């Protein structure tokens, strides 16, 4: 897997055929500059992409304009700082239960699994972002054999291409279900993601791949992504493959984030699968870990998943943590909040010192419709109870200043 992933600006109208994601910045030129991670070559970002490696700061490469007025005795120079900006979209759990898989098969006329109708309503919002990240919680089959749902998952191969069609650039894959199908399942999942042009992080096929998480080129800004899970439902990591999936450990996360900075990354996103299931309030452990990570200059944003309900967003040291984004797609219907989700849209802006920070957050509440497993936009007039629950959960800590889109 090449470790610089283009965040696709040349293509998407949302839906099949609008996407031209590639696994490197440009096929011409970059392949000579960056070796394949599988080949073990040391890879560097092109000079036009790499910001200063100084952690938490850097020399600004934003466009400046200079004007000079000369008289017989004085010269006046004015420099205008024009910061670079990009948008980042993120969503919660993609948890493909058997019923959800059967709904996709029905959407495909019984001959193929088609998730495009599932994502149709949210695809324009996902596609509008400069970078879009999902959380693929379950393994994905390479050939649609031995498909299964809870408690040991194996999802249809079409989910990867249809996530790409919806506008996603990559996904976190570290989850409590990551090892449901063992090492072969991890390999199959990542092979399918590679074929679909999706970035991935959190599980790996080798130590080398684990140690080279993807860097996305977002309009010339290097954005790194990391992913970790609290555990694997009692399945141990193989003794000879501890790199197969990432466990949450604060020191490891900070070391990995620092390594991304050293590779020239300007903005680092950490995805965490954590928390107490079905509980909107973050646990003390979640809050302590968020404070520790965001207290580092090497971590810029935390995206939380796992608890199957929406949790609040907080600001710590001026940075954001989304403790839990709910279920974006699942068949959990036994509790109404488990059909709630949220699509978050972060605006990230270059600062005068060359660092990047989230400067605005917009949110779009979602609701998983059943039957059909379609992701719908919720509002005050459509699925109003879901909208109310999500809005209240996001503001639970009293520090969130985001703006709803519906």
pLDDT for 260-284, tens place per residue? Answer: 999 999 999 999 999 999 999 999 9
Residue % of the chain over a pLDDT of 90: 79
Q: Residue 250: pLDDT above 90?
A: yes
> What's the full length of the chain, in residues?
406
| Residue 298 · residue 56 · CB < 8 Å | yes
Q: Residue 38: pLDDT above 50?
A: no
Tokens of 361: 């957050």
Q: Residue 404: pLDDT above 90?
A: yes
Burial class (CB in 10 A: 0-12, 13-18, 19+), 33: middle
Query: Sorting pLDDT into bands at 50, 70 and 90, what band is 78?
Result: confident
Percentages (nearest 5) of helix, strand, coil residues in the chain: 25, 30, 45
Extents of the domains making up the chain:
86-404
Tokens of 223: 């954005």
CA distance 385 to 338: 13
The pLDDT tens digits for 165-224 are 999 999 999 999 999 999 999 999 999 999 999 999 999 999 999 999 999 999 999 999
Looking at residue 75, its pLDDT comes to 73
Phi and psi, residue 375, nearest 5°:
-90, 115
pTM attached to this predicted model: 0.86
Average pLDDT, integer, range 33-47 = 35
CA distance 14 to 167: 6
* CATH T-level topology, domain 86-404: Purple Acid Phosphatase; chain A, domain 2 (3.60.21)
Query: Sorting pLDDT into bands at 50, 70 and 90, what band is 8?
Result: low
Write down the mean pLDDT value for the chain: 87
């Amino acid at each position: 897997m090449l470790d610089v992933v283009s965040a696709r600006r040349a293509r998407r109208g949302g839906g099949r055929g609008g996407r031209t994601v590639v696994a490197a910045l440009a096929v011409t030129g970059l392949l000579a500059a960056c070796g394949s991670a599988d080949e073990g070559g040391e890879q560097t970002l092109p000079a036009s992409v790499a910001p200063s490696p100084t952690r938490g700061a850097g020399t600004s490469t934003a466009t400046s304009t200079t004007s000079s007025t000369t008289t017989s005795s004085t010269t006046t120079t004015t420099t205008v700082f024009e910061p670079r900006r990009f948008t980042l979209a993120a969503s919660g759990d993609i948890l493909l239960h058997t019923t959800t898989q059967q709904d996709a098969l029905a959407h495909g006329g019984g001959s193929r699994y088609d998730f495009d109708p599932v994502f149709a309503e949210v695809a324009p919002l996902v596609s509008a972002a400069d970078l879009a990240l999902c959380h693929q919680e379950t393994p994905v089959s390479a050939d649609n054999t031995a498909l299964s749902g809870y408690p040991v998952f194996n999802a249809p191969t079409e989910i990867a291409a249809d996530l790409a069609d919806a506008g996603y650039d990559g996904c976190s894959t570290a989850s409590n279900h990551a090892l449901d199908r063992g090492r072969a399942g991890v390999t199959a999942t990542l092979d399918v993601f590679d074929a679909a042009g999706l970035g991935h992080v959190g599980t790996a096929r080798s130590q080398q791949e684990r140690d080279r998480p993807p860097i996305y080129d977002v309009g010339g800004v290097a954005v790194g992504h990391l992913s970790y899970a609290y555990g694997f439902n009692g399945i141990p990591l193989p003794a000879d493959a501890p790199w197969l999936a990432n466990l949450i450990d604060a020191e490891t996360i900070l070391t990995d984030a620092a390594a991304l900075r050293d590779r020239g990354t300007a903005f680092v996103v950490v995805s965490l699968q954590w928390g107490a299931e079905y509980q909107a309030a973050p646990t003390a452990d979640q809050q302590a870990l968020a404070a520790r990570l965001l207290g580092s200059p090497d971590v810029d944003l935390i995206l939380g998943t796992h608890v199957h309900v929406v949790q609040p967003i907080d600001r710590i040291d001026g940075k954001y943590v989304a403790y839990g984004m709910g279920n974006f797609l699942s068949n959990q219907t036994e509790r109404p909040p488990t059909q709630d989700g949220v699509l978050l849209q972060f605006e990230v802006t270059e600062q005068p010192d060359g660092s990047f920070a989230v400067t605005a957050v917009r949110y779009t509440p979602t609701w998983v419709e059943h039957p059909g497993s379609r992701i719908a936009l919720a509002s005050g007039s459509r699925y109003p109870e879901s909208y109310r629950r999500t809005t209240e959960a996001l503001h639970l800590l009293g520090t969130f200043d985001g703006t709803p889109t519906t």
